[in-house]
């Protein structure tokens, strides 16, 4: 196929309505909203970092003499580029500074009017210092530490490693109503308010229909106590909040027996209270009221049906002993703070602090939004504390639930679960850091002298930076990026985890939490999730999903009005979707875009057949339900979901191959994934390619509006060459454009790993047959033709990095050298004089990569050694070999070495540094002079012949050009533009003035950029390499290894059809088609029916057509080629309609009995290579206590000979072999060393001794005071 952009024959029937959003937007948008780096200070919104600062500041001391206020925060520039940070093991970060103002007030009583105090409490802010005189104001910029910066690819570079902050799915803030069944069958309802920070509140009905409130899951008291504390004192007041009263004549009260009395009934004559509010109206009481002597004419009865609902409030009143607001406050205080004597003021303050103080209690905007929505309130969204109305509405809803109205919440509904992305997680960490810092600031204020104190003295930057460093370094949500291939990288950034701090725990997570929920539609992929203990707890965002400002995932729908489809697109969250009827994307329409006939629609997880007029929305695309990985599987709709899950996950494990090839059968998503993952190089703007080399592409952009000012510098695209990924696969970019080619913005200029012509290419298209072949493909094993190995079809490059530091030790300095004691010349033949292996050297196991010697510790010398030293002087070889050697199984070629050194202080090094700096300055000065020259030429061109205004010299203020003269060539030649560049006007003509101003501004900007660049470069040279403490030099060696396909490698298709290569067969022995083409891969046909992944059969048929016709095919998920279309395509290509062909045995030349399904399948090699797993050990490390060999390849361990293996040897009666296994080959310490000697000498093996584990057992028994002794 030709080497131009791939065009695919698309089988989809539905047009694309809306462009898929950038797949990395989840990460990048969230971080940008947090940082607001490009937003002017005055326009910064109250979100992210800005919100955290405003929340914590101002910080005042106890007496409010000092107040530290926040003005703004500033961001610096990163010291190093992303690439330099990765190479040097640095963090890619920017300095964060804050401008703070310290206000010092004069000491005084500082009393505030009580009204002010109350207002301050109501506002939720701490009462500010009042009208005392300000003594001093000090403003200062304070450094708060380094803040890691997101890269263009949505990752963070932390200590040289590329990491991803995974978004967290968490229960939303707000109110939740739930129900549980009591053992006696009764439904018990409860409501819980979850704030962002602050006290948790739970209201619950118990089995006796009493309503309790729990604070922080500890203290429990009747809800009426809380209402009285809020100011609703009497039972009557409380009743009136939730019920209406019926005014009944006292003689008619008998008709309402069983209901409760609303207001106290008082005897008019005696003033005696006949019945209290909340008492039930009994027969006796009704009779007494009917008598009428002295009783009121009317009685207030609570309007409720006692047969339908119990009187919860009356039951609760019985449990509540308090009667006034003061009593309630005191009781609450003594319950919450037992031991402290209650005092009305402190009790009120505690109540305010718990729920009505912004600093102590915060629902966040999302919590308030959910509270308003759930309880039909209209409290302003910025009121993030609780109000009395919230409590009342919650209690009211619980009473409704008790009488069978209203619904409880489904916790797995996506309206109740929100996503916390990078920005929010970082804001939370900053909040923690700044809160800690505010505590230390308060402590320091009291210690410092008021006259000499400054913001700088108060702030300790380490507090914040240590919290941020801990988050990026060790949080469960900060993960080492999966970088096996571009898809793995992209999906890792779109991952949603329910685990992590504040999330679920995998051991306690129920089935319901893990299951697919109807609200996942279009928001979370129903297919892609790990197998194993994390199933369902880790999910991936849908292709079209986006996260709204409250953290809920939205998905787009096309609006339908009166049965007609419109072009309007609405993004709906799971809550908003509940009230609408939504049709799927594939529905039949007439020419005018009207829906034809009754159609199936979704509503709250149910499917209903409805008329077109009832439809509100329709899907924008059939693939919006899926995530990125699943959307890459062609014919996914014909695969069983379990196999599709494996297919999605295995695509992420595909190793980028040496020679990539895009799939013949794709889904049309391949280009989008390759571009959005950042694996390919994309043109920033349209232009012409001026230069192409292996490591750089230069594009000259089209003329822009500013072409009359300065020549737009060409866009330079550096390419990454043979870089190691996090998973040791190879990242290599190669150009796919030619010099002179015209490119458009967004066009792919260079392919990256696992891409081909700008499309994702995870595997190869190979000729596949479904048949059994001599039993070698039993149990999913794969038979492979030797052609795939010979032609490097599945070969891949893997790069390993080795590093070795030279440290300053107590006994001297370690040193890199090629002069290593007791090592042959042959072993150091590839090392240079500083002991580093040369690039291009081939290395095997045990070869020296870096020579290093360490001084030996001084030991007591014998008299003979002292005599020899006295005669021959200091012994040179008093060092030991500490070289870096290639590990076992390592075979490859050194492709790069790096040496990093701490800054030297000797004069030679200093002189060399000065020379480098001088050269750098010369280079940059030339560039500045060039800009000035261009500027001057442009200015002369603009000013020539124009009438001038008076110009003065910027330094001496002398008139250089008098007014009303014309600029001539000679006058322009004499002008020193640098000195008069500050002038506002140059000529009389305003339009020319504007042009002159533009030229000056553009040149000044260019010069500024060059100067900043120079400063950064100079700083890097002066600083030297930043190494870990105690390290003087560091060497890194990169070894590349080409791995061909071998027996034991794992391979897979895209439909979950995985297997292990069992045999590599000579090409001539493989079965062949009637035209003589040999099959490449043979798969077992029994792997299809049981697994129900028929997508692979469809793919193999249409793949055969694609190869025969020399074209690529796109068959999008749920909108791809039908079976009839595949049959027709086979027919048109001159292939059998059955998709089967006669095959001939390569060994005998005879045809096989039955026709075989043959075609082209896309097959990947997965990152489970036999070379990484194969392992052998003779002698190695032993465990300290048991003296048995360690386990695992990483520890160079042995193979465990377990209980069942012992049975096998017992069954054979192989007693000596068994004895050897359990003694000399395991933990008989003396026996194994004696055996080693015997083998070396060629003697017969000695008798085994006692295994160490027996000694351990004896010691354990002795520790239990059992005197066990072994008698020989």
Cα 605 from Cα 610, distance rounded (Å): 15
pLDDT for residue 981? 62
Same-domain pairing of 166 and 180: no
Measured CA to CA in angstroms, residue 1264 lies from 664, 1138, 1257, 1269 at distances of 71, 76, 11, 14
636 domain residue, yes or no: no
Cα 684 from Cα 698, distance rounded (Å): 11
pLDDT exceeds cutoff 80 at 529: yes
8 domain residue, yes or no: no
Cα 336 from Cα 349, distance rounded (Å): 13
Contact 199, 213 (CB under 8 A): no
Same-domain pairing of 747 and 771: no
Same-domain pairing of 56 and 164: yes
Same-domain pairing of 777 and 739: no
Q: pLDDT digits over 650-666, tens only? A: 999 999 999 999 999 99
Q: Per-residue b/e over 524-548, b at no fewer than 16 CB within 10 Å? A: bbbbbbeeeebebbbbbbbbbbbbe
1032 domain residue, yes or no: no
Greater pLDDT, 877 or 806: 806
**Which of 307-311, 348-352, 819-823 is the least confident region?**
307-311
- The CATH number covering residue 669 comes to 2.40.50.100
Cα 833 from Cα 825, distance rounded (Å): 13
Contact 1025, 88 (CB under 8 A): yes
* Residue 849 belongs to domain spanning: 802-902
Q: Where are the alpha helices (DSSP H) in 187-343?
A: 223-229, 235-242, 283-291, 312-319, 325-336
Reported as a pLDDT band with limits 50, 70 and 90, residue 810 is: confident
866 domain residue, yes or no: yes
Cα 1006 from Cα 1000, distance rounded (Å): 10
3-class DSSP assignment, residue 691: strand
| Tokens at 1191, concatenated | 């386990």
Q: Per-residue b/e over 977-1006, b at no fewer than 16 CB within 10 Å? A: eeebeebeebbeeeebbebbeebbebbeeb
Reported as a pLDDT band with limits 50, 70 and 90, residue 707 is: very low
Average pLDDT over residues 173-184: 94
pLDDT exceeds cutoff 80 at 16: yes
Last residue of one domain, picked from the residues 902, 927, 959: 902
DSSP for 925-984, please give it: HHHHHHHHHHHHHHHHHHHTTPBBPPEE-TTT--EEE-TT-B--HHHHHH--HHHHTT-S
Q: Which residues on adjacent β-strands are paired with residue 807?
A: 1031
pLDDT for residue 159? 93
Same-domain pairing of 209 and 220: yes
Provide the number of structural domains found in the chain. Answer: 9
Greater pLDDT, 1242 or 111: 1242
Average pLDDT over residues 24-34: 95
Cα 301 from Cα 303, distance rounded (Å): 6
Average pLDDT over residues 665-694: 95
Q: Which residues on adjacent β-strands are paired with residue 177?
A: 191
State the sign of the Cα–Cα–Cα–Cα dihedral 438, 444, 449, 453.
negative
Q: Provide the 10 A C-beta neighbour count for residue 947.
A: 13
Average pLDDT over residues 992-1020: 81
- The CATH number covering residue 591 comes to 2.30.150.10
Cα 523 from Cα 531, distance rounded (Å): 20
1238 domain residue, yes or no: yes
- The CATH number covering residue 455 comes to 3.90.1100.10
Q: pLDDT digits over 583-620, tens only? A: 999 888 888 889 998 999 999 989 999 999 999 999 99
Average pLDDT over residues 209-230: 90
Last residue of one domain, picked from the residues 414, 433, 452: 414
Q: pLDDT digits over 1029-1088, tens only? A: 889 999 999 999 999 999 999 999 999 999 999 999 999 999 999 999 999 999 999 999
SS (H, E, C) 429-480: HHHHHHHHHHHHHHHHHHHCCCCCCCHHHHCCHHHHHHHHHHHHHHCCCEEE
| Tokens at 1153, concatenated | 């009995």
52 domain residue, yes or no: yes
- The CATH number covering residue 1208 comes to 3.90.1800
- Burial environment of residue 511 by CB neighbours within 10 A (0 to 12, 13 to 18, 19 or more): exposed
Same-domain pairing of 1161 and 1209: no
Nearest Cα neighbor of 527 from 623, 622, 626, 624 is 626
Reported as a pLDDT band with limits 50, 70 and 90, residue 1208 is: very high
pLDDT for residue 190? 95
pLDDT exceeds cutoff 70 at 294: no
Cα 379 from Cα 387, distance rounded (Å): 9
Same-domain pairing of 1096 and 1019: no
1201 domain residue, yes or no: yes
Sheet containing strand 538-540, strands side by side: 417-420, 167-171, 495-497, 538-540
pLDDT for residue 550? 93
pLDDT for residue 902? 83
pLDDT for residue 841? 96
pLDDT exceeds cutoff 60 at 807: yes
The CA R_g of the chain, rounded to the nearest whole Å, is: 40
Given the DSSP bridges, would you call strands 730-731 and 723-724 parallel, antiparallel or unpaired? antiparallel
3-class DSSP assignment, residue 317: helix
pLDDT for residue 853? 93
pLDDT for residue 295? 60
Nearest Cα neighbor of 312 from 187, 396, 419 is 396
Measured CA to CA in angstroms, residue 634 lies from 14, 60, 631, 674 at distances of 16, 63, 8, 17
Same-domain pairing of 401 and 474: no
Same-domain pairing of 920 and 995: yes
Nearest Cα neighbor of 669 from 877, 525, 777, 559 is 525
Same-domain pairing of 969 and 1116: no
Tell me what percent of the chain is helix, strand and coil, each rounded to the nearest 5: 30, 25, 45
Average pLDDT over residues 227-240: 88
Last residue of one domain, picked from the residues 480, 510, 529: 480
426 domain residue, yes or no: yes
Q: pLDDT digits over 380-394, tens only? A: 998 999 999 999 999
Q: pLDDT digits over 512-527, tens only? A: 999 999 999 999 999 9
Same-domain pairing of 1227 and 1251: yes
Measured CA to CA in angstroms, residue 1170 lies from 845, 1167, 1191 at distances of 17, 9, 18
Q: pLDDT digits over 142-153, tens only? A: 999 999 999 999
Same-domain pairing of 87 and 39: yes
| Mean pLDDT, rounded, of the chain | 89
């Amino acid at each position: 196929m030709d080497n131009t952009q791939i065009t695919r024959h698309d089988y989809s029937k539905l047009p694309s309505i809306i462009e898929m959003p950038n797949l990395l937007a989840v990460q990048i948008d969230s971080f940008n909203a947090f940082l607001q780096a490009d937003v002017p200070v005055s326009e910064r919104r109250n979100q992210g970092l800005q919100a955290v600062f405003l929340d914590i500041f101002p910080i005042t001391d106890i007496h409010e003499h000092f107040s530290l206020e926040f003005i703004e925060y500033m961001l610096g520039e990163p010291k190093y580029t992303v690439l330099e940070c990765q190479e040097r093991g640095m963090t890619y970060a920017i300095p964060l500074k804050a401008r703070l103002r310290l206000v010092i007030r004069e000491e005084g009583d500082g009393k505030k009017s009580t009204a002010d105090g109350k207002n301050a409490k109501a506002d939720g802010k701490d009462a500010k210092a009042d009208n005392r005189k300000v003594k001093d104001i000090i403003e200062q910029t304070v450094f708060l530490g380094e803040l890691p910066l997101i890269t263009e690819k949505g990752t963070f570079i932390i200590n040289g490693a590329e990491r991803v902050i995974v978004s967290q799915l968490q229960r939303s803030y707000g109110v939740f109503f739930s129900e549980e069944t009591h053992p006696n069958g009764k439904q018990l309802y409860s409501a819980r308010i979850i704030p962002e920070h602050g006290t948790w509140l739970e209201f619950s009905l118990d089995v006796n229909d009493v309503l309790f409130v729990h604070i922080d899951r500890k203290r429990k008291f009747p809800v009426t106590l809380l209402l009285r504390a809020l100011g609703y004192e009497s039972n009557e007041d409380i009743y009136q909040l939730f019920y209406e009263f019926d005014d009944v004549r006292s003689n008619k009260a008998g008709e309402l027996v069983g209901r409760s009395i609303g207001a106290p009934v008082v005897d008019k004559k005696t003033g005696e209270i006949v019945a209290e509010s909340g008492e039930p109206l009994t027969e006796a009481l009704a009779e007494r009221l009917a008598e009428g002597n002295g009783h009121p004419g009317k009685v207030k009865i609570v309007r409720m049906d006692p047969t339908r609902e119990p009187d919860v409030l009356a039951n609760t009143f019985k449990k509540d002993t308090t009667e006034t607001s003061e009593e309630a406050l005191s009781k609450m205080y003594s319950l919450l703070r037992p031991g402290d004597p209650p005092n009305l003021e402190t009790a009120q303050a505690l109540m305010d602090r718990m729920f009505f103080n912004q600093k102590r209690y915060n629902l966040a905007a999302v919590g308030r939004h959910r509270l308003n929505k759930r309880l039909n309130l209209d409290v302003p969204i910025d009121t993030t504390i609780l109000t009395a109305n919230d409590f009342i509405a919650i209690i009211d809803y619980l009473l409704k639930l008790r009488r069978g109205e209203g619904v409880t919440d489904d916790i797995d509904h996506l309206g109740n679960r929100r996503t916390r992305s990078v920005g929010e997680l970082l804001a939370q960490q900053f909040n923690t850091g700044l809160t800690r810092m505010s505590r230390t600031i308060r402590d320091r204020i009291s210690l410092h002298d008021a006259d000499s104190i400054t913001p700088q003295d108060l702030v300790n930057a380490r507090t914040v930076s240590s919290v941020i460093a801990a988050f990026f370094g060790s949080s469960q949500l900060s993960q080492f990026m999966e970088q096996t291939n571009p898809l793995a990288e992209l999906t890792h950034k779109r991952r949603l985890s329910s685990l992590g701090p504040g999330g679920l725990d995998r051991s306690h997570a129920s089935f319901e939490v893990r299951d697919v929920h109807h609200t996942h539609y279009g928001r979370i992929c129903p297919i892609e999730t790990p197998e194993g203990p994390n199933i369902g707890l880790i999910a991936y965002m849908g292709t079209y999903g986006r996260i709204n400002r409250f953290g809920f995932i939205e998905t787009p729908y096309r609006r339908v009005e009166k049965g007609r489809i419109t072009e309007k697109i609405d993004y709906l969250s799971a809550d908003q979707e509940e009230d609408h009827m939504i049709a799927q994307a594939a529905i039949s329409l007439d020419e005018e875009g009207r829906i034809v006939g009754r159609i199936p629609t979704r509503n709250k997880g149910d499917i209903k057949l409805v008329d077109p007029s009832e439809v509100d929305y329709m899907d924008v695309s059939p693939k919006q339900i899926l995530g990125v990985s699943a959307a890459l599987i062609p014919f996914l709709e014909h695969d069983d979901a379990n196999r599709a899950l494996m297919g999605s996950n295995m695509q992420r494990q595909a190793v980028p191959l040496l020679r990539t090839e895009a799939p013949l059968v794709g889904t049309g998503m391949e280009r989008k994934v390759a571009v959005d993952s950042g694996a390919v190089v994309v043109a920033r703007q349209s232009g012409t390619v001026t230069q192409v080399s292996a490591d750089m592409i230069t594009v000259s952009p089209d003329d822009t509006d500013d072409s009359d000012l300065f020549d737009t510098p060409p866009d330079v695209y550096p390419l990454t060459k043979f870089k190691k990924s996090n998973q040791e696969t190879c990242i290599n970019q190669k150009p796919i454009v030619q010099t002179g080619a015209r490119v458009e913005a967004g066009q792919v200029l260079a392919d990256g790993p696992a891409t081909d012509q700008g499309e994702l290419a995870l595997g190869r298209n190979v000729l596949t047959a479904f048949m059994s072949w001599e039993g070698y493909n039993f149990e999913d094993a794969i038979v492979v033709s030797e052609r795939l190995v010979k032609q490097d079809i599945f070969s891949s490059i893997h790069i390993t990095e080795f590093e070795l530091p030279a440290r300053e030790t107590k006994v001297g300095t370690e040193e890199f050298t090629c002069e290593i004691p007791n090592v042959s010349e042959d072993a150091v033949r590839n090392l240079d004089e500083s002991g580093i292996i040369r690039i291009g050297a081939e290395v095997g196991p045990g070869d020296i990569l870096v020579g290093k010697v360490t001084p030996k510790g001084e030991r007591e010398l014998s008299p003979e050694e002292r005599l020899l030293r006295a005669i021959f002087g200091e012994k040179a070889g008093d060092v030991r070999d500490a070289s870096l050697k290639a590990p076992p199984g390592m075979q490859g070629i050194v492709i790069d070495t790096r040496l990093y050194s701490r800054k030297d202080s000797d004069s030679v090094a200093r002189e060399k540094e000065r020379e480098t700096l001088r050269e750098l300055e010369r280079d940059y000065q030339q560039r500045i002079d060039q800009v000035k020259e261009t500027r001057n030429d442009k200015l002369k061109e603009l000013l020539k012949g124009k009438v001038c205004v008076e110009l003065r010299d910027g330094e001496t203020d002398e008139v250089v050009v008098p007014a009303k003269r014309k600029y001539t060539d000679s006058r322009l030649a004499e002008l020193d533009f640098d000195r008069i560049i500050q002038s506002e006007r140059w000529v009389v003509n305003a339009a020319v003035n504007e042009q002159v101003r533009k030229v000056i501004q553009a040149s000044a900007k260019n010069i500024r950029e060059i100067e900043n660049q120079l400063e950064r470069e100079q700083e890097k040279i002066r600083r030297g390499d930043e190494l870990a403490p105690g390290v003087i030099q560091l060497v890194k060696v990169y070894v590349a290894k080409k791995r061909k396909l071998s027996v034991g490698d794992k391979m897979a298709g895209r439909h979950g059809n995985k297997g292990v290569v069992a045999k590599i067969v000579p090409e001539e022995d493989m079965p062949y088609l009637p035209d003589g083409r040999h099959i490449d891969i043979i798969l077992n046909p029994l792997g299809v029916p049981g697994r129900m992944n028929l997508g692979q059969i469809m793919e193999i048929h249409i793949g055969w057509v694609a190869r025969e016709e020399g074209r690529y095919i796109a068959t999008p998920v749920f909108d791809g080629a039908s079976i009839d279309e595949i049959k027709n395509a086979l027919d048109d290509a001159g292939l059998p309609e059955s998709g089967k062909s006669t095959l001939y045995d390569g060994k005998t030349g005879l045809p096989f009995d039955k026709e075989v399904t043959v075609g082209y399948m896309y097959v990947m090699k997965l990152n489970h290579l036999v070379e990484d797993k194969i392992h052998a050990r003779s002698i190695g490390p032993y465990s300290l206590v048991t003296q048995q060999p360690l386990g695992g390849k990483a520890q160079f361990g042995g193979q465990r000979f377990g209980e069942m293996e012992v049975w096998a040897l017992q069954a054979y009666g192989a007693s000596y072999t068994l004895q050897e296994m359990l003694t000399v080959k395991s933990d008989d310490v003396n026996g194994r060393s004696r055996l080693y000697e015997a083998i070396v000498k060629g003697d017969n093996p000695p008798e085994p001794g006692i295994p160490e584990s027996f000694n351990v057992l004896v010691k354990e028994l002795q520790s239990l005071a059992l005197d066990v002794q072994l008698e020989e």
